Each structure stands twice: as structure tokens, then as C-alpha cells.
Amino acid sequence: MLKIGITGQEGFVGSHLFNSINLLPQEFESIEYNISFFSNEIKLDTFVQQCDVIVHLAAMNRHEDMQALYNTNMDLVKQLISSLERTKSKAHVLFSSSSQEDRDNLYGKSKKDGRILLERWANSNGGKFTGLVIPNVFGPFGQPNYNSVVATFSHKIANGEKPVVQVDGELKLIYVSELAGEIINKIRENKSESLYQVPHTSVAKVTEILAYLQKFKDQYQDKGEIPMLENNFVLNLFNTYRCYMDVKNHFPVKFTQHTDPRGSFVEIIRLGIGGQVSFSTTVPDITRGNHFHTRKIERFAVIKGKALIQLRRIGTDEVLDFYLDGDEPAYVDMPIWYTHNIKNIGDEVLYTNFWINEPYNEEDADTYFEEV
């Protein structure tokens, strides 16, 4: 079993890579990391000593003082190399570089110079080195005004602000889960590669991205409708957008009931997409779920009885509680990377309608069990 350490594990790409590696416990073991290790040689050496593989993601991406950014990134690389040398490590080091390597800016220079130093260490000390040139990355939980234009636009639109397109450039993009998959494949290959150009998986203009995000706001956030998701890029963009909504205050969403002497009628979901609709009954005090998805879109609609739906984002401790009552039918949608469950907290049988955007496939279930 390979022991993998990720510097920058607390960051956007690092946290996704960490979570993806933890979905493969038969193949990999994650080594504990904290940014404070770079301020303590003993802790950094202990971390490095344990690792068969080190993915070096720790870096500063933006700063008003570009020289300070360059110095910070180079210091991190030099500290890592010093630790590798002190511990006589033969680890496979993978380094996240950037398509800005050959541009005339200090960020790109910090990436190129750092890559050259780490490759030189590997060649001189019997280690392995892979330099990853990474295109524009987007995905859930990125930091607005820092990680990507998708994060910035999604945050602004979901919170009622109006983004401004300054330059309508064409972007070569990769979804963060796809990038994690690329890195894991390079770990599995276990060979040196000075410069690997991570392939982009989609191309879109800034105005195209903005138009999609505005559509998600109108159709999904405001009206509860699942929009047409014509390809994986749009699905990934939609799942990214959903993570910038205020989940705690958006859900549960009450349905519109149409009542007459015969009874009542409620539209559960309006779709621009297919999927699977299920129905369940749950006896009192029973809990269903306690699992999460990394790509699926799922809706729980309570139509009879009383339920507690709980959500917790993977890697965090905060649990969101939503109380639903069939007397006022309502739904909660499950964001990706949130483990979730539903419990019958009433005295009668609970009736729940479930919708998910793809039929269940036992060989690719995208369902990972973890207690809320």
C-alpha cells in the first residue's frame, strides 16, 4: 500500500485529492499533513519520512506583492528539498506547475524554478519526479476571487450579485475531480516525467460559463427545476454552482400544493434531464442513507410523515439539520461531497419520494458510506 502525503492538503485541489485518495483505502494510505509542518523541521521530516509519494501542492497563487509570492513558493520548495535530503528520502514527488511557466510573470517563474529544483533533487538522490502542468481548474468549494473565475462567478450569482466579464477569453478547463484522477494515475505509473501536460477536458469562453451559471440561478435556485445538462462539463459546472448556494437557508423548499375536495396534488420535480424516481416507506425511528456522492444529483421529497434530513460536508464537522413534515410537503437536494441521511422522527410511517439523475449502476454506484 502506497503512503501518500499532500502538501497544501487544506487547499482547493489538495482537499479534493485527499478525499479522492481516501476513497481507495485498499490502494493508498494518507499521511497526516498540516501547513505548520513547514515551520517545524522535526514535524516536516517526520511527515516526509513516512511518505512513498509526496504531491507538492502548497503554494501561493495570488498576492499583491509578486516578489513575496515568488519568494514564498520558492521557500516552500527549498524547505521540502532540505527535508528530503535530511531524511534520505527516495519518494516519488509530484509537483503542480502551471501553464504560466513560460509567461513573463513571477508566479510562472516560481513554478518553473521550483520544478527544476525538485527534478534536480530527484536526479541527484535516487528519487522520482513528475512535473504536472495544470490547466485552469474548477469545481466545488474553490475560493472566490482566488481559485477560478467559475468560483468567483458562482459565488456572486448564487448570492444575488452581478459578475462583470473583464476579458471574454477562451479557457481550457479541467474539473477538479478529473484532475485528482490524473494525479492518481501518475502516482500509479510510478515513473519520472519532467513535464507532463495535464490535458484539459473542456473549452469554454467566459461569457458561455456566465450564461450557464445564470441559467442555473434562474431554473434551479429560483424555480427548483433541474436544467438540461447536455454533457459532463455542464453537469460538473452545475454541481460546482450548487455548492455556492446557501444550503443551510435554502432548504427545505416547500412544494406548491393544489387542493380541492378530492385531496391535493403536488409536482415533485420538473426536469430537463432524465434519471430514476423511487418511493420508500420508513417506519418510526429508522434512518436511511449515511452516504455521499461525488457526481450525482439527488432530491429527497417528504410527502407524508415527519422526517429529519441531515447533511455534513466531507472533511468538516458541521451537521445541517432539516425538519420536514408531510403536512407541508417539501424537498432537500443533496450537494455532492455531503454525506446525508433521512430519519423518521414521527409516530407514523414516513413516505418519501427520491429522485436521482442517473439510474443505479452497481459497478459504478458513486455511493460512499460515511455516518453523518
Q: CATH number of the domain that 215 lies in?
A: 3.40.50.720
Identify whether residues 251 and 212 lie together within a single domain.
no
Mean pLDDT on 179-196 = 97
Cα 9 off chain centre by: 13
- Percent of the chain topping pLDDT 70: 100
Mean pLDDT of 105-111: 92
Domain shared by 38 and 110, yes or no: yes
- Each residue of 191-230: pLDDT tens digit? 999 999 999 999 999 999 999 999 999 999 999 999 999 9
CA geometry: angle at 217 spanning 343 and 323, to 5°? Answer: 20
Mean pLDDT of the chain: 96
117 and 47 in a common domain: yes
pTM of the model: 0.94
Verify that 344 and 325 share a domain, yes or no: yes
Q: Quick check: is 344 in a domain?
A: yes
Q: Using 50, 70 and 90 to split pLDDT, how confident is the model at 57?
A: very high
**Same domain? 215 vs 256:** no
Number of domains observed in the structure of the chain: 3
Please tell me whether residues 294 and 343 are part of one structural domain: yes
Read off the pLDDT of each residue in 325-352 and give the average, rounded to a whole number: 97
In DSSP terms, 193 is beta-bridged to 130
Identify whether 11 is part of a domain. Answer: yes
Among 134, 160, 192, the domain boundary falls at 134
Q: Does any domain span residue 122? A: yes
What pLDDT shows up at residue 102? 80
Domain boundary among 84, 112, 134: 134
Cβ atoms of residues 3 and 51 within 8 Å: yes
303, 270 Cβ separation under 8 angstroms? no
Residue 259 falls within a domain, yes or no? yes
- Angle at the Cα of 368 from the Cα atoms of 285 and 310, rounded to 5 degrees: 40
Give the span between the Cα atoms of 316 and 323, in whole angstroms.
21
Q: Please tell me the predicted confidence (pLDDT) of residue 188.
A: 98
Do 110 and 143 share a domain, yes or no? Answer: no
pLDDT in tens, 149-164: 999 999 999 999 999 9
Q: What are the residues facing 204 on neighbouring strands?
A: 171
User: What's the gap between Cα 111 and its chain centre?
Assistant: 24
- Asked if pLDDT for residue 262 goes beyond 90, the answer is no
Looking at the structure, do residues 125 and 160 belong to the same domain, yes or no?
A: no
Q: Which domain holds residue 262?
A: 247-369
Same domain, yes or no: 12 and 99: yes
- Rounded Cα distance between 365 and 158, Å, is 29
Reduced to 3 DSSP states, what percent helix, strand and coil does the chain have, rounded to the nearest 5? 35, 30, 35
- Please give the grid coordinates belonging to residue 124: 541527484
Same domain, 79 and 112: yes
CATH number of the domain where residue 298 is located: 2.60.120.10
Tell me whether residue 182 is in a domain: no
* Mean pLDDT of the region 78-89: 98
Q: What was the pLDDT predicted at 358?
A: 92
- Say if residue 260's pLDDT is above 90: no
Task: Using the predicted structure, report yes or no on whether residue 104 has a pLDDT greater than 90.
Answer: no
The answer to whether residue 116 is domain-embedded is yes
Query: Treating both helix axes as pointing N-terminal to C-terminal, what angle do 206-216 and 149-158 enclose, rounded to 10 degrees?
Result: 30
The domain boundary, picked from 189, 223, 245, lies at: 245
**Are 78 and 38 within 8 A, CB to CB?**
no
**Would 184 be classed as within a structural domain?**
no
- On whether both 348 and 274 belong to a single domain, the answer is yes
On the question of pLDDT at 286 being above 90, the answer is: yes
Both ends of the chain: CA-CA distance in Å? 28
Provide mean pLDDT across the span 36-57: 98
Dist. CA 329–CA 302, nearest whole Å:
6
Asked whether 29 and 3 are in contact (CB, 8 A), the reply is: yes
Structural domain contains residue 191 = no
Q: Are residue 241 and residue 279 in the same domain, yes or no?
A: no
